[in-house]
Structure 1
Amino acid sequence: MKLSTHLVSAPLHTPFVTALRTATHAESLLVSISDGEHTGWGEAPQVWKVTGESLAGAQACVEGPIATALDGLGPDDLTEALRRLQGAAQGNFGAKAAVDVALHDLAARRVGRTLHGFLGSTATTVRTDVTLSAGDPDALVRAAQDRVRDGFDVLKVKVGTGDAAADFERVRRVREAVGPEPRIRLDANQGWNRRDAVTAIRALEDAGCAIELVEQPVAAADLEGMAWITDRVSTPILADESVYGVRDLVNVIRLGAADLVNVKLAKCGGLGPARTLLELAREHGLGAIVGSMMESHVGVGAAAALVAAYPTTAVNDLDAAWWLRQAPVDGGITYAGSTIHLPSNPGLGVTGLIA
């Protein structure tokens, strides 16, 4: 098998603003693995403020210890390749996810199946929410109305700006502008403290804003704080940055820190670990969604294939590739409002890089 890496920078059609960062491009490392006839693709996004991984580090990991670990294996050795991959280095979950997905994509292509079909699904579509970037109330209202017109019916509002009262007012304005039908979920990206989180969430509950869930209200390491919030509000709490792997999820479950977990390939290391997390959550009565970083049609396509085969308890967070002005690859998933259409071609349906 031949393993190659490709650095890409895809411009967004609109800046993506959160409590942690502002992005104007999706910066990623694409990984391709070829058997001479078929090529599988995977992706490692650069998200400094979340995973701490860089493109240079991911590339060094893929071309160094991961390539060494896979040396000598053939394209039919998927199980052994995935085992060696996870043991090749500590951390480096984005790099591992890229190679894990590329290996799965190659395996699916070799038997002429779509990736979601290879994982056991006959679905042709999955659904996604859409994120409204953090901003002033007027801009947020306009964005919400535009996204509803675009066909999205689950809106994720970025909060956690440091002013809980202002966050409340922004969300109230959005609900007033879009009416009662679209679902609204919030993502604080660790931006609140526990008391401000409870104050803001209770105020939104009392105002009848019908918030579906609140994602990662406090710092990732503050599981006790998140449990404190979960105990004091009616709105479901979703853990994101607090959960990378099984140990993290076990701690969330043990402390009752959240009602749901957001599983992301670039946080946990690929499709194999993601399936384990989804199964563990289900066994312990925890809800789950699958999310994405700022990724292209490669990374989001893999997450969408996972969702098709392992249905979650709420609409997923897979709008990242929708933000791209132009995809860095040909083929793959397509968007029609909140619906993601899965490819009918083998694997991820990606046919190559756009020059």
Structure 2
Amino acid sequence: MSRIVDVSCTRVRARLHTPFVTALRRTETVDTVLVRVRDTDGVVGYGEAPQVWQVTGESLASATACVEQMLAPLVVGTDTDDWSATTARLPRAVARNAGAKAAVDVALHDLAARRSGVRLAELLRTTYGDPAAHPPRTVTTDVTLSAGDADALAAAAVARVADGFGTLKLKVGTDAATDVARVRAVREAVGPDPVLRLDANQGWTPEDAVDVVRALEAADLGVELVEQPVPGEDVEGLAWVRARVGLPVMADEALFTAYDLERILRLGAADAINVKLAKTGSLAAAAALLRRAAEHGLGTMVGSMMETHVGLGAAASLVAAVPTSGTNDLDAAWWAAASPYDGGITYDGPVITLPDVPGLGIERLHEDAVA
């Protein structure tokens, strides 16, 4: 019988090839906590907890403290074959701290998949998806255009289309008065074919959101959807906006838990949802949100915070196991100048390839990535 003998944390910093700018922040690095779970046979599973002050409120220090002080004691000494029961105990171990909980949860799933000799997507399919389905090896992602002026956005859009991306996610919400002009500049630069979706990252008031979205509709710029136009806690405001515009509205920062989804459904606040592991706290919870939303006719998408190939590998594996209705938002690790690991997912423009090896396929962390 194999048991968990160690849960450890390492702070990782990966530099980006291009600064990432939203209505909430600007960053040139990915800062995250890599969690390793090791068993008595020396098998290691990986997960990560990204630092996202403006969305989850978690930091490197808080995630590390949560894992080491609250979650590791629940995991160390448990039977590796009982991984499902172990992951079920994590959500109640501590309030909030979804990123830290997701990191340990993913690491336990990764370890279980490695021990079973299957890809993580295959383990997730049999556990949370359709057991009869065969998870694909590839997943398609959009790409984000960082917030900026019209000329910068247009130039970035042309470059990303040249990289092969067919769905562009524009970061708006920094200035409602000029957001329409920025979207128009991108559309004129790339032509009619690329899909344009907008993410305001909570940057508008409900009134500004209605004004901007109506102006976008009048301009007929071919926008697919508008993501989180108002502050996440203002679900009533989100519903107020949705009732007054024609473009589909997606909830992101408004959705962390199953309770949040029921509130969104009850108020008719969104046409679609963006599910992220660092918000839900576990793969099981994320899969449940996707299924519940689909049952009620909402569009579904899996996204991520600014994470490395560990977190993105887990998110892409979830998509492969529990398919979503739209192109997913999994480009975060594409922004890294280089992967901080050997192994794991790879990017070819918008196509993410899952490694054909057990678990996430992560082999080791590069020493120069240790923060």
Report the TM-score, using the length of structure 2 for normalisation: 0.94
Q: Secondary structure at the match of 1:272?
A: helix
CA–CA distance in structure 1, aligned partners of residues 166 and 355 of structure 2: 23
Say yes or no: does 1:124 pair with 2:137: yes
CA contact (8 A) 2:197 2:225 kept: yes
Cα shift at 1:31: 0.4
Cα shift at 1:37: 2.9
Name the aligned partner's letter for residue 15 of structure 2. P
1:204-243 per-residue CA deviation (whole Å, 9 max, x = no partner) reads 1111101001000001111111111111111100000001
CA–CA distance in structure 1, aligned partners of residues 181 and 53 of structure 2: 30
Q: 1:304 matched to which residue of 2?
A: 316
CA contact (8 A) 2:121 2:321 kept: yes
Q: 1:230 matched to which residue of 2?
A: 242
CA contact (8 A) 1:70 1:84 kept: no
Q: 2:128 matched to which residue of 1?
A: none
CA contact (8 A) 1:265 1:271 kept: yes
How many positions carry a matched residue from both structures?
A: 354
CA contact (8 A) 2:7 2:76 kept: no
Name the aligned partner's letter for residue 25 of structure 1. T
Q: Secondary structure at the match of 1:73?
A: coil
Name the aligned partner's letter for residue 135 of structure 2. T
Name the aligned partner's letter for residue 142 of structure 1. A
Q: Secondary structure at the match of 2:360?
A: coil
- Aligned partner (choices 202, 216, 219) of residue 231 of structure 2: 219
Q: Secondary structure at the match of 2:196?
A: strand
Cα shift at 1:38: 1.5
Q: Secondary structure at the match of 1:4?
A: strand
For 1:153-302, list aligned pairs within 5 A.
153-161=166-174, 163-302=175-314
Name the aligned partner's letter for residue 176 of structure 1. E
Q: 2:102 matched to which residue of 1?
A: 97
CA contact (8 A) 1:188 1:215 kept: yes
1:300-352 per-residue CA deviation (whole Å, 9 max, x = no partner) reads 00000000011111100000000001222111111111111111111001001
Say yes or no: does 1:22 pair with 2:35: no
Name the aligned partner's letter for residue 157 of structure 1. L
Cα shift at 1:71: 3.3
Name the aligned partner's letter for residue 20 of structure 1. L
Instruction: Point out where structure 1 has 5 or more consecutive residues left out of the alignment.
Output: none
Q: 2:58 matched to which residue of 1?
A: 53
Cα shift at 1:244: 0.4
Instruction: Point out where structure 2 has 5 or more consecutive residues left out of the alignment.
Output: 126-133
Q: 2:131 matched to which residue of 1?
A: none
CA–CA distance in structure 1, aligned partners of residues 123 and 94 of structure 2: 27
1:261-304 per-residue CA deviation (whole Å, 9 max, x = no partner) reads 10000011021110111111112211110001000000000000
Q: 1:141 matched to which residue of 2?
A: 154
Name the aligned partner's letter for residue 174 of structure 1. V
Flag as ranges the 4+ runs of structure 1 deviating above 4 A: none
Name the aligned partner's letter for residue 290 of structure 2. L
CA contact (8 A) 1:41 1:298 kept: yes
Report the TM-score, using the length of structure 1 for normalisation: 0.98
Say yes or no: does 1:7 pair with 2:7: no
Q: Secondary structure at the match of 2:243?
A: helix
Calculate percent identity across the aligned residue pairs: 59
